[in-house]
């Protein structure tokens, strides 16, 4: 874990030594996780410090690498478009695991005097379930288990039949165009029945809106 800080400190020392008139400090060295497909676990943003130093990011990156290689000969470096990517050695990740293993697990998982309410799933009972619902169910269930493992008293709940504007649109469409039909008479599942009237509402609304736009009143409003 300290290796990353040591790298940051070494780059800062290099900048202070090489550019004493630029007032460099450790805060100028920005290191973050490398989220690109390029080689390296971490990346150093070269653009701001290169601008401050008055040289190109490529030149600065090459000079920093030459400096770091003396002290950190187990690291692998690569410069990509103004970023200095650093690949950490396997020993670094071993140290990270050891750090996690020596945590005070009893204290970490101790019972806490707090209750946490986790509400998840809560599907609309008048529409079919889809993959998005499964995602929310898995996220809520996982979060509940994590909080429980951390010592919290967890209450799981969901809002049953949380109806909103969607069901209102479906009911209005059924009142206007349903002709007293039912899922049984239509020969389809209830949730699909309601969903079809929701789609019908949107289509009828769009037609009515377009008709209004071309009307005399509509042209006066949108003129």
Write out pLDDT tens, residues 57-67: 999 999 999 99
Region of 62 on the Ramachandran plot (φ > 0 left; ψ -120 to 50 alpha; else beta): alpha
pLDDT of residue 124: 73
pLDDT of residue 126: 66
Inter-residue contact 84 to 61 (CB < 8 Å) = yes
Q: Are strands 153-157 and 115-119 parallel, antiparallel or unpaired?
A: parallel
| 62 vs 42: CA distance, rounded Å | 17
Inter-residue contact 110 to 153 (CB < 8 Å) = no
DSSP label of 89:
P
Strand, coil or helix: what is 80? strand
Quickly list DSSP for 116-158: EEEE-----TTS---HHHHHHHHHHHHHHHHHHHTT-EEEEE-
Read off the pLDDT of each residue in 184-213 and give the average, rounded to a whole number.
91
| Residue 162 confidence class, pLDDT cut points 50, 70, 90 | low
pLDDT of residue 219: 73
In this predicted model, what pLDDT tens digit does every residue of 103-157 receive, in sequence order?
Answer: 666 677 788 999 999 999 888 766 677 888 899 999 999 999 999 988 999 999 9
Region of 34 on the Ramachandran plot (φ > 0 left; ψ -120 to 50 alpha; else beta): beta
Inter-residue contact 177 to 139 (CB < 8 Å) = no
Residue among 207, 212, 214 nearest 199 (CA): 207
| 192 vs 126: CA distance, rounded Å | 8
| 75 vs 86: CA distance, rounded Å | 7
pLDDT of residue 187: 94
40 burial type by CB count under 10 A (0-12 exposed, 13-18 middle, 19+ buried): buried
pLDDT of residue 117: 96
pTM above 0.85? no
Please give the distance of CA 110 from its chain centroid, rounded to a whole number: 29
216 burial type by CB count under 10 A (0-12 exposed, 13-18 middle, 19+ buried): exposed
| 76 vs 89: CA distance, rounded Å | 8
């Amino acid at each position: 874990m300290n290796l990353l800080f040591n790298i940051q400190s070494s780059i800062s020392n290099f900048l202070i030594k090489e550019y004493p008139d630029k007032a460099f400090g450790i805060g100028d060295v920005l290191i973050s996780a490398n989220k690109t497909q390029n080689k390296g676990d971490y990346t150093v943003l070269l653009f701001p410090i290169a601008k401050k130093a008055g040289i190109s990011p490529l030149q600065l990156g090459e000079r920093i690498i030459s400096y770091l290689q003396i002290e950190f000969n187990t690291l692998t470096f690569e410069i990509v478009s103004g970023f200095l990517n650093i690949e950490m050695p396997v020993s670094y990740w071993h140290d990270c695991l050891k750090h996690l293993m020596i945590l005070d697990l009893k204290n970490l998982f101790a019972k806490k005097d707090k209750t946490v309410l986790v509400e998840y799933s809560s599907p609309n009972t008048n529409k079919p379930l889809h993959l998005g619902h499964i995602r929310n169910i898995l996220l809520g269930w996982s979060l509940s288990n994590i909080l429980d493992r951390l010592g919290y008293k967890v209450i799981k709940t969901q809002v049953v039949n949380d109806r909103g504007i969607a069901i209102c649109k479906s009911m209005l469409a059924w009142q206007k165009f349903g002709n007293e039909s039912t899922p049984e008479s239509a020969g389809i599942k209830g949730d699909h029945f309601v969903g079809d009237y929701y789609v019908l509402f949107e289509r009828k609304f769009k037609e009515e809106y377009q008709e209004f736009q071309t009307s005399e009143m509509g042209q006066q409003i949108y003129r």
